[in-house]
C-alpha cells in the first residue's frame, strides 16, 4: 500500500481490475494539508498555498487527492456507494494543537523529502521561518482549518469481470 497515490486514476484502474463483481473498495484520502490552516499572515498563507498547489504536486503528491477519488472510481467503472468526512485530530482540528499534534507537524517539516522541496522553493532561512509560522498558527487558540480526511466507498457492478474494469 502506498503512502500516497501520485497517479490516482491508474491506481484505481488497478484496484478495480482486482475486484470481483459486487466487490467493495474504500479509499481514504486528505482534502488539504498546509494551505487550509489559519490564522497566517497573507504572505505566509500564499506561501503555503504554493506548497499545496505547486510544490507538492510537482513531486507527485496531491494534498487535495480526496476531491478526485469519487471521479476516479467512476472513471474506473465503479459505482460510488457512500462517503464520509472525518475531522482528524492531527490533520483537521480546530483550536490549538496539543503538544503531541504540534510535535507531529514539526516532525512532518523534518521529513527529508518535504524539507528538501521547501528549501528548493523557498531557501533555508525562509523554510525555517515558514515552519515556525505554521507551528505558531496551529498552536493558536484562534487556529482553524478547512482540511478534512475523506473516506469514499464504491462497488464494482455485477456483470463486469474482474479484469475488464481497467480497460474502461
Task: Give pLDDT, residue 59.
Answer: 84
Has residue 141 got a pLDDT over 60?
A: yes
Q: How far is CA 50 from CA 30, 33, 40, 43, 133, in A?
A: 17, 12, 14, 11, 15
Residue 1 lies in a domain: no
User: pLDDT tens digits, residue range 88-138?
Assistant: 899 999 999 999 999 999 999 999 999 999 999 999 999 999 999 999 999
How many Å separate Cα 50 from the centre of its chain? 15
Has residue 164 got a pLDDT over 70?
A: no
The total number of structural domains that make up the chain: 1
Residue ranges making up the domain that contains 80? 8-158
Specify the higher pLDDT residue, 163 or 122.
122
Has residue 165 got a pLDDT over 60?
A: no
Task: Give pLDDT, residue 40.
Answer: 97
Specify the higher pLDDT residue, 5 or 100.
100
User: pLDDT tens digits, residue range 32-91?
Assistant: 999 999 999 999 999 999 999 999 988 888 899 899 999 999 999 999 999 999 878 999
Q: Which residue has the cell 455485477?
A: 158
Task: Give pLDDT, residue 25.
Answer: 96
Smallest Cα–Cα separation from 39: which of 149, 145, 148? 145
Task: Give pLDDT, residue 1.
Answer: 34
Contact of 29 with 69, CB cutoff 8 Å: yes
CA distance 110 to 118: 10
Residue 77 lies in a domain: yes
Residue 163 lies in a domain: no
The secondary structure element, H or E, covering residue 100 is helix 99-110
Residue 164 lies in a domain: no
Has residue 167 got a pLDDT over 80?
A: no
What stretches of 42-88 show up as alpha helix (H) in DSSP?
A: 42-50, 56-58, 66-75
Residue 127 lies in a domain: yes
Report residue 124 as a C-alpha cell: 533555508
Q: How far is CA 160 from CA 77, 151, 165, in A?
A: 9, 24, 7
Has residue 154 got a pLDDT over 70?
A: yes
**pLDDT band, residue 5 (cuts 50/70/90):** low
Residue 18 lies in a domain: yes
Residue 135 lies in a domain: yes
Residue 104 lies in a domain: yes
Amino acid at each position: 500500500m502506498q503512502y500516497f497515490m501520485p497517479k490516482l486514476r491508474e491506481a484505481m484502474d488497478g484496484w478495480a481490475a482486482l475486484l470481483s463483481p459486487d466487490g467493495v473498495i474504500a479509499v481514504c484520502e486528505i482534502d488539504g494539508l498546509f494551505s487550509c490552516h489559519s490564522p497566517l499572515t497573507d504572505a505566509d498563507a500564499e506561501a503555503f498555498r504554493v506548497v499545496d498547489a505547486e510544490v507538492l504536486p510537482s513531486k507527485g503528491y496531491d494534498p487535495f487527492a480526496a476531491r478526485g477519488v469519487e471521479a476516479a472510481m467512476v472513471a474506473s467503472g465503479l459505482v460510488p456507494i457512500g462517503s464520509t468526512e472525518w475531522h482528524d485530530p492531527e490533520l483537521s482540528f480546530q483550536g490549538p494543537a496539543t503538544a503531541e499534534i504540534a510535535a507531529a507537524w514539526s516532525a512532518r517539516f523534518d521529513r527529508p523529502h518535504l524539507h528538501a522541496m521547501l528549501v528548493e522553493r523557498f531557501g533555508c532561512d525562509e523554510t525555517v521561518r515558514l515552519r515556525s509560522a505554521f507551528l505558531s498558527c496551529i498552536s493558536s487558540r484562534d487556529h482553524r482549518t478547512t482540511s478534512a480526511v475523506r473516506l469514499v466507498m464504491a462497488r464494482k457492478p455485477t456483470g463486469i469481470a474482474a479484469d475488464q474494469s481497467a480497460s474502461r
